[in-house]
């Protein structure tokens, strides 16, 4: 898995004009900035580019004020000069060229090259976005705050994205099979804590993988259109399914948020830990669904489902209600509802997806 420190660092920043999404989009293939950077790399040149903010004025001097409209060709041409290039906050203008950047050397840097050291220190000291292009290695390194990220070659990134997408497709297939099994367990009242942990475990893995792929897609820009379309298909209904499972089984929903926000991939593989966090029970403990997920497949609206569950507590009780007891809540829908429940049970026992 690639290093996500850069994008996670940006996610935690609260800058009005410079957020994670903006940065990844500005640097994606097909944009003017990326085209200019690629031309610099192909021309075997090196350059330091900084996006201005008020703090930067304290540490740069000299150079030429050009204040011209940004184009990729201008960027590549101006990179032939020795000093740094300063861009406007909206990336639409080249403000200064051949500027001397003198950051505070007390700021730590893990870089060895002079240009990259300056970029990292500028980012840490001023909070500016800084981009360093290596003349020798042809690498584009991006710095923002304490975060660093090396832009990947488009072909390599597309290969990684495709491979990760294939894994996600397999995870979605496994999740669909788990749902079919859960359907059978629910109508036979045989659900255990372990069964629900398996479902939630798979849901969280899918969501975490989708976040990684979405970051790949942002970096791919126009090259990621087909992947984006496939991602939308794979993620269809995932959030809704998780919402239903949580409403059916989790008594304290704040635990689910803690579970989602704090568990790593490795922690997700520990089903006993998940059971402890969400249920405070063993994996073998039997649990009863309230019925939100299954009842959503019927003609009932959300208020009717809520009223049924409020009165009869769980899915098993609802399945066994006599028609006369349903009249107060469902009125003229009783006959249709009972027919739909019988049909659902038949489809579930046949192993069909509902």
Q: Are residue 10 and residue 139 in the same domain, yes or no?
A: yes
Task: Tell which wins on pLDDT, 69 or 264.
Answer: 69
Q: Are residue 277 and residue 170 in the same domain, yes or no?
A: yes
* C-alpha closest to that of 123 among 135, 100, 141: 141
Q: Are residue 46 and residue 159 in the same domain, yes or no?
A: no
Question: Which residue matches tokens 């099994």?
Answer: 181
Bridge-partner residues for 87, per DSSP? 51, 94
Identify the top-confidence range among 16-25, 60-69, 230-239.
Answer: 230-239
CA distance 212 to 150: 16
**8 A C-beta contact, residue 21 and residue 144:** no
Of the pLDDT bands very low, low, confident and very high (cuts 50, 70, 90), residue 273 is confident
Q: Are residue 262 and residue 229 in the same domain, yes or no?
A: yes
Q: Residue 298 corresponds to which tokens in the numbers above?
A: 């019927």
Average pLDDT of the segment spanning 87-99:
93
How many domains are there within the chain? 3
**8 A C-beta contact, residue 130 and residue 48:** yes
Q: Are residue 9 and residue 146 in the same domain, yes or no?
A: yes
Helices 334-349 & 154-187, crossing angle to 10 degrees?
Answer: 110
* Chosen domain end from 289, 304, 329: 289
Query: Can you give the CATH number for the domain in which 314 is found?
Result: 1.10.150
CA distance 267 to 43: 46
Q: Are residue 210 and residue 321 in the same domain, yes or no?
A: no
Query: Can you give the CATH number for the domain in which 218 is found?
Result: 1.20.1260.110
* C-alpha closest to that of 142 among 134, 297, 55: 134
16 pLDDT higher than 50? no
Task: Tell which wins on pLDDT, 174 or 18.
Answer: 174
CA distance 335 to 340: 9
CA distance 94 to 70: 5
* Chosen domain end from 256, 289, 322: 289
Q: Are residue 16 and residue 58 in the same domain, yes or no?
A: yes
Phi, psi for 76 (deg, rounded to 5)? -65, -40
Bridge-partner residues for 132, per DSSP? 48, 141
Q: Are residue 282 and residue 306 in the same domain, yes or no?
A: no
> Percent of the chain having pLDDT more than 70?
92
* Chosen domain end from 289, 324, 342: 289
Task: Tell which wins on pLDDT, 271 or 84.
Answer: 84
234 pLDDT higher than 60? yes
Which residue segment(s) compose the domain that 114 sits in? 5-151
Average pLDDT of the segment spanning 5-18:
38
């Amino acid at each position: 898995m690639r290093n996500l420190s850069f994008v996670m660092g940006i996610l935690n920043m609260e800058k009005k004009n410079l957020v994670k999404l903006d940065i990844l989009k500005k640097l994606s293939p097909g944009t003017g900035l990326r085209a200019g950077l690629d031309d610099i790399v192909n021309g075997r040149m090196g350059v330091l580019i900084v996006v201005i903010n008020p703090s930067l004025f304290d540490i740069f001097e000299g150079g030429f004020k050009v204040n011209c409209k940004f184009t990729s060709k201008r960027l590549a041409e101006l990179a032939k000069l020795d000093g740094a290039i300063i861009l406007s906050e909206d990336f639409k203008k080249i403000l200064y060229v051949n500027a001397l950047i003198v950051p505070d050397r007390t700021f730590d840097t893990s870089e060895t090259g002079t240009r990259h050291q300056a970029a990292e220190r500028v980012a840490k000291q001023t909070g500016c976005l800084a981009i360093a292009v290596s003349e020798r290695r042809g690498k584009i390194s991006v710095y923002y705050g304490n975060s660093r990220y090396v832009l990947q070659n488009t072909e390599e990134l597309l290969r990684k994205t495709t491979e990760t997408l294939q894994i996600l497709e397999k995870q979605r297939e496994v999740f669909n099979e788990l749902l079919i099994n859960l359907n059978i367990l629910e109508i036979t009242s045989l659900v255990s804590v372990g069964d629900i942990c398996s479902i939630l475990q798979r849901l969280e893995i899918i969501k975490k993988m989708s976040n990684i792929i979405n970051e790949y897609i942002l970096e791919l820009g126009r090259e990621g259109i087909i992947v984006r379309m496939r991602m939308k298909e794979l993620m269809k209904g995932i959030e809704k399914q998780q919402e239903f499972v949580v409403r059916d089984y989790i008594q304290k929903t704040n635990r689910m948020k803690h579970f989602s926000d704090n568990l790593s991939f490795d922690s997700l593989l520990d089903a006993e830990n998940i059971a402890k966090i969400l249920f405070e029970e063993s994996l073998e403990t039997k649990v009863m669904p309230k019925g939100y997920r299954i009842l959503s497949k019927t003609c009932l609206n959300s208020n009717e489902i809520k009223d049924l569950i409020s009165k009869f507590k769980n899915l098993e009780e609802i399945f066994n209600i006599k028609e006369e007891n349903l009249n107060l809540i469902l009125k003229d829908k009783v006959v249709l509802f009972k027919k739909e429940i019988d049909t659902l049970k038949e489809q579930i026992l046949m192993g069909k997806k509902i």
